[in-house]
Amino acid sequence: MPGLTRESNLNNSSLQPGTEEHIPPGRSLWADGIRRLRKQRLAVVCFWIIVFYLALAAFEWIAEARKWESPAFIRWNEIVGPSYQKPMVPYEWTTADGKTEIRREWMGTDFMGRSTFRRTLYGAKTSITVALCASLISLAIGVPLGAAAGYFRGWLDELIIWLISTLSTIPYLLLLMAFAVVLRDKTVFGLELRGITSVYLAMGLTSWVGICRLIRGEFIKRKESEYVLAARATGCSNARIIFSHLLPNVFHIIIIDLSLRFVHFIHAEVILSFLGLGETDKPSWGAMIDAARAELARDVWWEMTAATIAIFLLSLALNLFGDALRDCLDPKLRVD
C-alpha cells in the first residue's frame, strides 16, 4: 500500500532529540490490524468460536461426502431413543443388535427419536454453507459492479445505480422469499436447485446491493488518488488499475463487510427455513425452530433451545469479531 505505512510510522516516529535517528520496521495494514486484534481478548475468543463452527461444518461436509459412519455425532439421522426423550433423563434403549442399555441424551430427542444434539451440530454445516456461498455470490456480483460503476462512471454508473435503487425499494425479506420460491426446484445449466442451493442462490442474488454501493463509493473516492494517477501515468490499463491497485486497497472493506454479512445470511437462512423455503431434507436451525414451535405446546423445549443457543453463539461471535475487525482494519476508526 504505497505511502500509507511510512506515513503512519512517521506520525508515530520514535525520533528522540539528541539521539540517532531510528525508524522502526514498517508494518503492513494487515499485520498492524492483526496485532491490534490480538490485543482484544474478546475478539480472540470470538475468533476461536467461529473457527470451531467452521471446522465443525467442514468436518460434517467431508464426513457426508465420504460417507463416514463415525464418530457417532455425524449420524444425525440415527434413531437413538424414544420420541421426544427429555434431555439428561436416563432411558432404556434396545440397539439394532438387540442389546439393551441405559442411555441419556443431553439435548433430548426429536419426534422420531433422533438426537437433537447431533442435529444441532449438523445445522452448523447447513447454516455456514449457506452463509459462505451466499457471501461469495453477493461479493462476486456486488464488487465488480461497484468497481465498474465507481471507476468508469457515466452511463454504466447510472445503469448500475438504477439497478441498485430499484432493488433497494423492494423490502429485502419479500425479495428474498420471491427469489427462493422462483428458484426452488429449478434446473439451471444442469444444476438442480434443491434444498440449500436455492437458498444461497436467492440470498446471493438479492444481497449484493450493499457491498456494491460501498465499493462504488470507495472507488469514486480513490480513483483520483496519487497512486492511481501515477499508475495511469505509467500507462497501466484500466483493468490493471482496478485489480492491482484499487481493489487491494479496498479489500479490508470487503473483509469487514463479509464478516458482518455472514451473520445476516445465517439469520436469513433460519428465517427461510422457518418459513418452509429453506432446507427440508436435512437438519437446519431454522427448520428445527419451526418444528419446535408446534412442539412447545407439549413441553418439548429442548429442540428450540438447542437451535437457539447455536445461532446465538455464532451470531454473537461473528458480530463481536466483525466489529473488532472493523475497528482494527479501518484506518478511520483505529484507536490505539
Partner 1 sequence: MKKRAVQVRLAASILLVLAACLPAGCRRRSDSSASERMVIRVPMFSKIQTLDCGNLTDVYSIGVASQIYESLYEYHYLKRPVELVPLLAEDMPDISEDHLTYTIRIRKGIFYHDDPCFPDGKGREVKAADFVFALKRIANVKYMSQRWTDWNGRIVGLDGFREYTKSFRRESDVDYSVEVEGLRALDDYTLRLKLTKPWPQLIWYLASAVTAPVPREAVDYYGKDIMYHPVGTGPFRLKVWERGFYIELVRNENWHGGTYPTEGEPSDWENGYLEDAGKPLPFADAIVYRIIEEFQPAWLMFLRGDLDIMQIFKDNFAQAVNPDTLTATPAMAERDIRLLVFDDPSVFWIGFNMQDPVLGPNKPLRMAVSRAVDRQAAIRLFFNGVHKVAHGYLPPGLEEYDPNIVHTDYAKYDPAEARALLQEAQRIHGGSIPPLTIAIPGTSNLDRQIGQFLQKYLADVGLQLRVDYMDWPTYLDGLNKGKLQIFFSGASPSIPDSLDMLMGFCSWNWGYGGNHFFYSNPEFDALYRQAEPMFPGPERTRLCRQMERIMLEDCPAVFLNHRVAIAIIHGWYKNAKPHEFSYNTAKYRRIDLEKRNRYKELLNELKKKSK
Question: Residue numbers of the site for partner 1 (CB under 8 A)?
Answer: 77, 79, 83, 111-112, 114, 185, 194, 276, 280-281, 287, 290-291, 293-295, 297-298
- The C-alpha angle 77, 266, 75, rounded to 5 degrees, equals 15
Give the C-alpha separation, 195 to 99, whole Å: 37
- Closest approach of Cβ 298 to partner 1, in Å? 5
Report how far apart the first and last C-alpha atoms of the chain are (Å, whole number).
21
DSSP designation for 26: P
Cβ pair 5, 26 in contact under 8 A: yes
Tell me the closest approach of the beta carbon of residue 109 to partner 1, in angstroms.
12
CB-based contacts of 59, cutoff 8 Å, min separation 6: 74
- Would you say 53 or 274 has its CB closer to partner 1? 274
Q: Min. distance of Cβ 63 from partner 1 in angstroms? A: 15
Toward partner 1, which CB reaches closer, 105 or 218?
105
Spatial distance between the Cα atoms of 133 and 21, rounded to a whole number of angstroms? 51
Q: How many whole angstroms separate alpha carbon 105 and alpha carbon 178?
A: 39
Strands (E), the chain: 91-94, 100-103, 186-188, 191-193
CB closer to partner 1 out of 54 and 79: 79
Question: By C-beta, is 158 or 185 nearer to partner 1?
Answer: 185
Q: Do residues 131 and 286 lie in contact, with contact meaning Cβ atoms separated by under 8 Å?
A: no
Beta partners for 181? none
**DSSP-assigned letters across all residues of 65-86:** HTT---SGGG-TT-B-SSTTPP
Closest CB 179 distance from partner 1, rounded Å: 18
Smallest distance, partner 1 to C-beta of residue 270, A:
16
Residue with cell 465420504: 66
How far from 94 is each of 19, 81, 102, 114, CA to CA, in Å?
A: 81, 9, 9, 14
> Cβ of residue 315: shortest distance to partner 1, in angstroms?
24
Identify which of residues 78 and 327 has a Cβ nearer to partner 1 in the complex: 78
Q: Which is nearer to partner 1, 7 or 92 (CB)?
A: 92
Instruction: Write out the three cell numbers for 34.
Output: 492483526
**Beta partners for 94?**
100
Using the minimum distance from each CB to partner 1, give the nearer residue, 224 or 281: 281
Least spacing, CB of residue 110 vs partner 1, in Å: 9
Closer by beta carbon to partner 1, 258 or else 287:
287
Min separation Cβ 289 and partner 1, Å: 11
Closest C-alpha to 272, from 142, 197, 180, 143: 180
For residue 142, give the amino acid letter.
G
Q: Which is nearer to partner 1, 31 or 182 (CB)?
A: 182
Considering the complex, what minimum distance in angstroms separates the CB of residue 77 from partner 1?
A: 6
Q: Is 186 helix (H, G, I), strand (E, B) or coil?
A: strand
